[in-house]
Chains A and B, each alone.
Chain A
Amino acid sequence: MDAPARRDVLNEMRGHIQEEVADLMEQGYTEEEAVRIASESFGTLDNLVQELNEVHNHSNWVQTLIAALPHLIFALLFALHLWSNMAWLVIILICTVGVTIYGWHHNKPTWLFTWLGYALIPLLIVGIFLLEQASKADTMIPSWLAWPLMIVYFPVILWFFLHIMIQVLRRDWLLGSLMALPVPPIVGWLMTAPWKSELLGAGTPALQSLEPWVALSFLTLAGIVALFTRLKQRPLKVGVLLLSGLTFLFIITFSTGGSVGIMTLVIVGFMAVLLLILPALLEQRLARAEVEPWHGPLESDLELKS
Chain B
Amino acid sequence: MNYKRELLKGNTDALLLSLLSSQPMYGYQIIKELRKRSHGYFKFREGTLYPALHRLEKSGLIVGNWERLPSEKERRYYKLTEAGRRLLEEQVVEWQGFSTAVNLIMQPASS
Q: How far is the CB of B63 from chain A (nearest CB, A)?
A: 13
Q: Is B74 an interface residue (CB 8 A)?
A: yes
A15 touches B75 (CB 8 A): yes
Q: Is A41 an interface residue (CB 8 A)?
A: yes
Q: Is B9 an interface residue (CB 8 A)?
A: no
A52 touches B51 (CB 8 A): yes
Q: Number of residues in B with C-beta < 8 Å to the partner? A: 17
Chain A residues lying within 8 Å of B47, measured Cβ to Cβ, are: 42-45, 47-48, 51
A16 touches B55 (CB 8 A): no
- Given the known inter-chain contacts A41-B45, A42-B46, A43-B45, please indicate yes or no for A55 contacting B55, CB distance below 8 A: yes
Chain A residues lying within 8 Å of B54, measured Cβ to Cβ, are: 9, 52, 55-56
Closest to B57 in A: A55
Chain B residues lying within 8 Å of A15, measured Cβ to Cβ, are: 26, 28, 73-76
Q: Is B95 an interface residue (CB 8 A)?
A: no
* A/B pair count, beta carbons within 8 Å: 52
Write the B19-44 contact mask toward A (1 if CB under 8 angstroms, else 0).
00000001110000000000000000
Q: Is A58 an interface residue (CB 8 A)?
A: yes
Residue of B26, B28, B45, B58 with most partner-chain A CB within 10 A: B28
Chain A residues lying within 8 Å of B26, measured Cβ to Cβ, are: 15
Write the A6-36 contact mask toward B (1 if CB under 8 angstroms, else 0).
0011011101101110000000000000000
Question: B51 contacts which of A19, A45, A48 (Cβ < 8 Å)?
Answer: A48
Question: In the complex the two chains form, what is the Cα distance from A8 to B58 in whole Å?
Answer: 14
Q: How far is the CB of B48 from chain A (nearest CB, A)?
A: 8
Question: In the complex the two chains form, what is the Cα distance from A44 to B50 in whole Å?
Answer: 13
A12 touches B55 (CB 8 A): no
Q: Number of residues in A with C-beta < 8 Å to the partner? A: 23
Question: In the complex the two chains form, what is the Cα distance from A168 to B46 in whole Å?
Answer: 30
B45 touches A19 (CB 8 A): no
Q: How far is the CB of A89 from chain B (nearest CB, A)?
A: 39
A12 touches B46 (CB 8 A): no
Closest to B54 in A: A55
- Given the known inter-chain contacts A51-B47, A52-B54, please indicate yes or no for A20 contacting B76, CB distance below 8 A: no
Write the B47-72 contact mask toward A (1 if CB under 8 angstroms, else 0).
11011001100100000001000000
Closest to A53 in B: B51
Within 8 A of A (CB), among B1-29: 26-28
Closest to A43 in B: B47
B74 touches A11 (CB 8 A): yes
Chain B residues lying within 8 Å of A52, measured Cβ to Cβ, are: 50-51, 54
Question: In the complex the two chains form, what is the Cα distance from A213 to B58 in whole Å?
Answer: 40
7 cross-chain pairs, A with B, having the tightest CB-CB distances, nearest first = A43-B47, A51-B51, A48-B47, A42-B46, A55-B54, A16-B28, A19-B28
List 13 A-B pairs, Cβ < 8 Å.
A15-B75, A15-B76, A18-B73, A20-B28, A41-B45, A42-B45, A43-B45, A43-B46, A48-B46, A52-B54, A55-B51, A55-B54, A56-B58
Beyond known contacts A12-B27, A12-B76, A43-B47: 15 more, CB 8 A cutoff: A11-B74, A12-B50, A15-B28, A15-B73, A15-B75, A16-B46, A18-B73, A20-B28, A41-B45, A42-B46, A43-B46, A43-B48, A52-B54, A55-B51, A55-B54
